[in-house]
Amino acid sequence: MLTNTNFKRVFSFLFFFLSASVFWTGCHNQGSGSAPHFQNLPAWANEAVVYELFVRDFTSQGTFKATQEKIPYLKELGVDIVWLMPIYPIGQKGRKGSLGSPYSVQNYYEVNPEFGTKQDFKNLVRAIHQAGLKIIIGFVPNHSANDYVEMAQHPDWFMRDQNGNFTREVQDWSDITDFNYDNPGLRKHIIEILKYWIREFDIDGYRFDVAGMVPDDFWRQAVPEMRSVKKDLFLLAEWEDHKFIDFGFSADYNWKLLHAFQDLQTHSKTVGQMLETYQTKYEQYFSEGRFLSFIENHDEQRAVKKFGKDRLAPYAAFIFTTPGLPLLFMGQEFGDTNYNASASLFEKVTINWQGFDSTLFSFYKKLTELRHAFPFNAGQWQVLHHENQKRTLVYSNILNNQAVVAVLNFDDKAQTVAFEIPDTLHFTMDRPVVEWLTGKKVKLQKTNRLTMQPFSAKILVAID
């Protein structure tokens, strides 16, 4: 009997040859790398704020119906895309915890009965659309549960070791088995599933878990197939590599920025080094694609614990006032500390709505309002000043005689920040400028000196 090995990343030449014609006729030219790929990014997603939630832990009921009741709350917060972590039945074999991880999928054509029924999910999608929002769902293309519904009938769809035992590349992920992408039948199966949720439930896209662990040529085939069902999909890769934009994805992750934030907080990186990390990503992606910027997500420690509630303002302000797509993870906006990245995937851990911090919520709401008031991804972003010793930063974004100037202090001491208004921003000296977070009016001069409190942000806005 032939068995598979962990050389799953070796591409099948024959399969690539057969699928290449589909890809090259259905997608843009990959060779030049110079043409803008705006077709990858729907117009409705260009300036979107993304909100990630886990149905099980978002409400005490942990259901689609209870999530649907929270849509007015999400509207008030000002998010645009609701991203549901995987909603499918969870495997039993090798399950971690009492409820198991949503990333151990037992059947991709069903919903987790904990959450409700398919009709409940369909009602949720419809309600989200009626509220003017969009919805994407998590998909796990690299692996399945150890008792995936197709495993007995199609064992060749799964990775096996030299002894014929089902296996995985990451051994610690003991509740899953890797798919075998050398098998054309498996590829067809995954693509049909992806098209099914778009066609039958009218979802607006996917967030693909560990997308870089799946062969590149699969994405070249799968993306045009998905877009043949619905053109304006938002496809998010949990990976950090510009190649996904070339494959037709809308965005990938900005993990390096989060790591730079963490290093900045511990003083192992300067403001200038953090800025260089962001600027490198920005220059590579714009205007071709987008990236997701965040200070927390379901795999990370809570921002209020990582940075401190009284210290996170400049980090949060940065992701909301720079080009990219800002992410909020459920409860981040009101300071939840119940969710634990290492345990909450496997048990029922409802976020703490009783501990709602209205001040923090208002801060994030002001940031989402600013994202809708000014088109950060369309404007011209430039750094005006940064000072490593004081740990301060000033930058601007300009579009059509409108501008935003952000002044950030990442230091634990109050700092005086001096910066000059360049010629491109002269128009801001002739009109009222509002400090967005407080509503106070300020007057910009050619040379400005602002006193910044520790770990603070001032966002100066000159818009019509």
Q: What angle do CA 314, 315, 316 make, to 5 degrees?
A: 95
Q: What is the pLDDT of residue 24?
A: 31
Q: How far, in whole angstroms, is CA 297 from its chain's centroid?
A: 8
Q: What angle do CA 421, 424, 426 make, to 5 degrees?
A: 55
Q: What is the pLDDT of residue 172?
A: 92
* Spatial contact of 344 and 299, defined as CB atoms under 8 Å apart: no
How far, in Å, are 16, 47, 102, 253, 409 from residue 324 at the CA level? 32, 8, 27, 10, 21
* Spatial contact of 225 and 190, defined as CB atoms under 8 Å apart: no
Task: For strands 415-420 and 402-409, give the pairing.
Answer: unpaired
Q: What is the pLDDT of residue 93?
A: 97
Strand partners, 50: 81, 327
Quick one: which of 218, 212, 252 has its CA closest to 236?
Answer: 252
Enter the DSSP assignment of 299: T
Quick one: which of 352, 359, 404 has its CA closest to 379?
Answer: 404
- Exposure pattern of 274-302 as b/e (b: 16+ CB <10 Å)? bbebbeebbeebbebbbbbbbbbbbebeb
3-state secondary structure of 219: helix
CA 237 – CA 303 distance, rounded (Å)? 22
Averaged pLDDT, groups of 10, the chain, 464 residues long:
38 36 33 44 95 98 98 98 98 97 98 98 98 98 98 97 93 96 98 98 98 98 97 97 96 98 97 98 88 97 96 98 98 97 92 98 98 96 97 97 97 98 94 95 95 98 90
Model confidence, pTM: 0.91
Q: What is the pLDDT of residue 1?
A: 36
Q: What is the pLDDT of residue 364?
A: 98
